[in-house]
Structure 1
Amino acid sequence: MAITDPVARLADALTEFAGAPVSLERPGDADHGDYATNVALRLAPTLGRPPRDIAAELAGESLRRDLVESAEPAGPGFLNLRVSDSWLVAALNEILAAGESFGTGTAADPERIQVEMVSANPTGPLTVATARNAAYGDSVARLLAFAGHEVEREYYYNNSGTQMERFYASIEAIRRGEEPPEDGYHGDYIAELASRPGDPVPPMLARIESTLGRFRVHFDSWALQSDVETEIPAAIALLDTYEADDAVWARTSAHGDDKDRVLIRSDGTPGYFAADAAYVRR
């Protein structure tokens, strides 16, 4: 929910009797007051009256309604306003009561937004480059949430495919007392993971999540590619498909895409679009 802005409330109160929208600006010179408006200058052509006279009337009405401590016409028709100490105290109390939510809720149409970030494969510790992505992504998520949107932060683990095969091969090589393959993974962390029994992925995931937690980047959900892939058949069943060249295709060109997309390759492995379809189905 948006927090009421005391300055906006003051501008709205002035607008009620000014007859035109009032915008309040901070004067460049503090001697000119706390806020100023040029509404009298904007009203003058319509009313056919000197803007300074209009500013004087608005000043009197502002004081009569006890909206400000002082109100004075200035220059060709500006209206300088000075708020009271009680107004400042009330405004400060609102800010303190709102806490971190002060100023939030500015989105005209709040939406549900998912911010996927980092999403590095669980084949090694996070790098500085990955941490940069975490900082960017978390900043975007915080700004969207501050604006009043419902934000979910997700980390998508691609724990299947060629990179993961090389990761497992590297671990198994160390366990056999051999060097990891040339195109595999090397480093002390591989030896450390190999020294533990069982699947090396869970402790690698835990390490990644711990690193992000120390970086103060927190996630609402953690998705695994392997889990998504189990849902591919159900997703394909919902699509407009056909078979060609020993592969299964989605007829996406009939639905606005520039070409059809392969779902199941000729070797029987799922294509990227198949995993995307399963993920969207979720």
Structure 2
Amino acid sequence: MTPEQLSTTIVDVLTALTDEGLLALPDGVPTSVTVERPRSKEHGDYATNVALQLAKRAGTNPRALAQLVSERLLASDGVTAVDIAGPGFLNITVAADAQGKVAADIVASGASYGANDSFAGERINLEFVSANPTGPIHIGGVRWAAVGDALGRIFEKSGARVTREYYFNDHGSQIDRFSSSLLASAKGQPAPEDGYGGQYIHDIAAAVLTERPDALESEDPQEVFRSVGVDMMFTEIKKSLHDFGVDFDVFFHEDELHKSGAVQRAVERLRELGNIYEQEGATWLSTEKFGDDKDRVVIKSDGNGAYLSGDLAYYLDKRERGFDRCLIMLGADHHGYVGRMMAMCAAFGDTPGTNLEILIGQMVNLLRDGQPVRMSKRAGTVVTIDDLVEAIGVDAGRYALARYSSDVNIDLDLELWARATNDNPVFYVQYAHARTCRMVENAADLGMTVQDAVAAFDAGLLAHEREGDLLRALAEFPRVVTAAAELRAPHRVARYLEDTASVFNKWYDTKECRMLPQGDEPAGPVNQARLVLTLAARTVLSNGLDLLGVSAPERM
């Protein structure tokens, strides 16, 4: 019995009590109730505070309502005990066969286990990384690559249609400085004072000259280095992301917004809504009335668009493409930018936090032997995505960056994440998955097939305390996925996987829970039941790793 199934049972009890006139809920029976695993095993398999939540609405006290619910709940299939604790908590124990059915359900569901419909029907535009195309992606952008792609997978598991989008900031002064730096390198000159350095500048400059040998003699050399060099940088960024397991559905170029007239269209839409005005020769957006600290210039007095102008056009473009939610992931240095963006959303008549949501990611510090790793051989001043992959690999890199809440700083010990030992979290989870695969192979060598085990499965035989622990852990996976989507928190999946791998290992190490028959013993029903439990654990570990974009190896 999963928490969701028990929640449904409790809702059915509440509905029956209401229909019989024994319970009055003016606002109606809730569609679901909270069911959690208690911290202490002595408190049963599951616990709920539904009586405390509903007592006031029902015009009674929590313990009285708990008593009413417990009597009916005890008569439900699969429930063996219901105890009332404290002011009205219900501690529930379920039968071994009811609990054990979870394993068969997981195996039957396979790759779809963990899916939910919490975002069903929603179209989500997920914009992340979006690093300026003036150099390789640095470690802060790599964090968003790992977190953003994992969040996209989690949203899709929750029923959403997700478009992963990369916004190329290829319009403005940073591109001018980039092309000037390439031109200087091609001429054998030092980079401009405000330009970019690093070996990659020399590499790209040389590549431009290979493709366009006449670049320095052309009518506008800087424009050649701008157009060809930026395209080369784009290509390199895309390749690095692809090699990191992150692919985008859309690469949107900021320059197109200014060339296509999209900025002016956005300004006119806002003008129609009464949120644009002219002052001192400039065009202003009335953001203060929507919570910003001041109004913002959209078109400067010289006729050029301010930085916000592109944001207006880009947001409107996304909404006109039919996206219900636009999520943008930005670095910590953009924290002060959130207020004006939310005001912009409101100025279009949309709902901040729903139609537009901004997630802020904090810094990543890399350590080796306890000392900061600051310099890239190629980029010169920053650590890049390729540096991280070279140091610890794609799986460890993705897992390490997705393992922490994005709103906290991370200190990543490269030595730790490169180890093939259990103190490396990703190795620990992957090894647990590989162990389940080896157990299934060993069972096959003894003639125990998956088909026979499923056909002969007796859920009631999974009665050992360790088996109950593992079943309850596996049953939590759908709820973890739902919470990760609702809270934009892929790290919840990672931490769940580590906890579940630990529970699985404890079960594996328990002699009384051996899956394989010993010696010349034939495989019996309990061995078959434990094979199904192993298959269920393998499924959950594999599905969870997939949500993080991390491989689930069969051998290690």
Same fold (TM over 0.5): yes
- Offset of residue 123 of structure 1: 0.7
Cα root mean square deviation, aligned: 4.2
How far apart are residue 211 of structure 1 and its match?
Answer: 1.6
Give the distance between the partners of 1:72 and 1:243, measured in 2 at CA. 71
User: Which residue does the alignment assign to 1:99?
Assistant: 111
Stretches of structure 2 that go unaligned for 5 or more consecutive residues are: 24-28, 213-227, 318-556
The counterpart of 1:252, out of the listed 272, 283, 286, is 286
Structure 2 SS opposite 1:195: helix
Residue 139 of structure 1 and its aligned partner are, at CA, apart by: 4.7
Q: Displacement of 1:190 after TM fit?
A: 1.4
AA in 2 matched with 1:10: T
Deviation per CA, 1:46-93, whole angstroms, max 9, x where unpaired?
8x989879856753x33xxxx12x6346578967543252x3454334
State the Cα distance separating 1:145 from its structure 2 match.
4.4
Query: Could you tell me which amino acid in structure 2 is paired with residue 204 of structure 1?
Result: M
Aligned partner of 1:71: which letter? T
Q: 2:80 aligns with which of 71, 74, 77?
A: 71
Please tell me whether residue 10 in structure 1 is matched to residue 22 in structure 2. no
Matched, 1:271 2:282: no
SS across alignment from 1:200: helix
Matched, 1:280 2:315: yes
Larger Rg: 1 or 2?
A: 1
**1:224 maps to what in 2?**
253
Amino acid at match of 1:209: K
Residue of structure 1 equivalent to 2:128: 117
User: Which has the higher mean CA deviation after the structures are superposed, 111-120 or 182-191?
Assistant: 111-120
Give the direction of change, closer, same or farther, for the CA distance of 1:75–1:170 in structure 2 (3 Å limit).
closer
Deviation at 1:224, TM superposition (A): 0.9
Give the direction of change, closer, same or farther, for the CA distance of 1:55–1:250 in structure 2 (3 Å limit).
Answer: closer
Paired residues for 1:178-257 under 5 Å: 178-196=189-207, 197-198=211-212, 199-230=228-259, 231=261, 232-240=263-271, 245=280, 247-250=281-284, 252=286
Q: For the Cα contact (< 8 Å) 1:265–1:271, is it kept in 2?
A: no
Shift of 1:28: 6.1
Match of 2:527 in 1: none
- Name the CA shift for 1:159/1:83 in 2 (closer, same or farther; >3 Å): same
Amino acid at match of 1:156: Y
Q: Which amino acid aligns with 2:237?
A: I
Give the CA deviation at 1:149: 4.1
How does the TM-score come out when normalised to structure 1? Answer: 0.71
CA distance in 2, matches of 1:49, 1:159: 66
Q: Secondary structure at the match of 1:156?
A: strand
Question: Any stretches of 5+ residues in structure 1 without a counterpart?
Answer: none
> Structure 2 vs 1, CA of residues 57 and 151 (structure 1 numbering), >3 Å: closer, same or farther?
closer
Alpha-carbon spacing, 1:111–1:214, altered in 2? closer, same or farther (3 Å): same
For the 8 Å contact 1:56–1:72, the answer to whether it is kept is no
Q: Distance in 2 between matches of 1:49 and 1:182?
A: 76
3-state SS of 2:299 partner: strand
1:129 pairs, out of 132, 140, 148, with 140
Q: Which has the larger displacement, 182-191 or 156-165?
A: 182-191
Q: Return the structure number with greater relative CO, CA threshold 8 A, min gap 6.
A: 2
Question: Match for residue 261 of structure 1?
Answer: 297
Query: Whole-Å Cα distance in 2 between the matches of residues 128 and 200 of structure 1?
Result: 22
SS of alignment partner, residue 249 of structure 1:
strand
Once residues 173 and 235 of structure 2 are traced to their aligned partners in structure 1, the CA distance between those partners, rounded to angstroms, is 22
- Distance between the aligned counterparts of 1:221 and 1:50, measured in 2? 54
What one-letter code is carried by the residue in structure 1 that aligns with 2:235? Answer: A
Task: Answer yes or no: is the 8 Å Cα contact 1:122–1:201 preserved in 2.
Answer: yes
Q: Provide the TM-score with structure 2 as the length reference.
A: 0.40
Cα 1:80–1:123, aligned 2, differ >3 Å: closer, same or farther?
closer
Residue matched to 2:163: 152
The 8 Å contact of residues 27 and 35 in structure 1, kept in 2 or not, is answered as yes
Distance 1:84 1:277, change over 3 A: same
Deviations 1:155-198 (A, max 9, x none): 21111211111111121222233333232222221122112225
Matched-pair contact (CA < 8 Å) for 2:284–2:298: yes
State the Cα distance separating 1:225 from its structure 2 match.
1.3
How far did residue 11 of structure 1 move? 3.1
